[in-house]
Amino acid sequence: MNSFIRDLEKAISDEWTGYYFYKELKARTNNPLYVEFIEHAQKDEKEHYEMFQYLHYLLTGEYYEHKKEKVGFTTFKEGVLRALKDELEGAEFYRDMLLEIPNQQAYKPLFIAMTDEQEHATRFSTIYNSLR
């Protein structure tokens, strides 16, 4: 269970970081489709963060205090590629966590996050491939 808690804490930090990363990324474009796709991912990241914090509370009796990290990127295209890679890694990370769930309460938030990350990767891939 300790390794699951460590992974859950990483997930909490990653989702918080993703939310603020997408806020910054969204500010770098005025393309309505890109804004829509980024806002969708940003909203989901916030929901994942809240679900994971609640799961952490259920499992440990406390919320997780994480480091507030920022994602650095220079260009919009670089940020989109970083987002794409992060979302693909996130989907795999949550898939692996699903195999280690300590109880059924952990299943739903991990499954939702895993499938959302796959959807986000598709959206960021669409953006990236349209940038020439």
Domain boundary assignment for the chain:
2-130
Return the closest-CA partner of residue 17 out of 53, 52, 42.
42
* pLDDT tens column, 57-79: 999 999 999 888 888 999 999 99
pLDDT for res 132 = 77
How many of the other CB atoms lie within 10 Å of CB of 121? 20
The structure tokens 């859950």 sit at: 8
* pLDDT tens column, 2-53: 999 999 999 999 999 999 999 999 999 999 999 999 999 999 999 999 999 9
pLDDT for res 97 = 96
Which superfamily, per CATH, for 2-130?
Ferritin, core subunit, four-helix bundle (1.20.1260.10)
* pLDDT tens column, 99-129: 999 999 999 999 999 999 999 999 999 999 9
Instruction: Give the chain's length.
Output: 132
Phi-psi region of 61 (alpha: psi -120 to 50; beta: other; left: phi over 0): left
Query: Six-digit token pair at 61?
Result: 């009796």
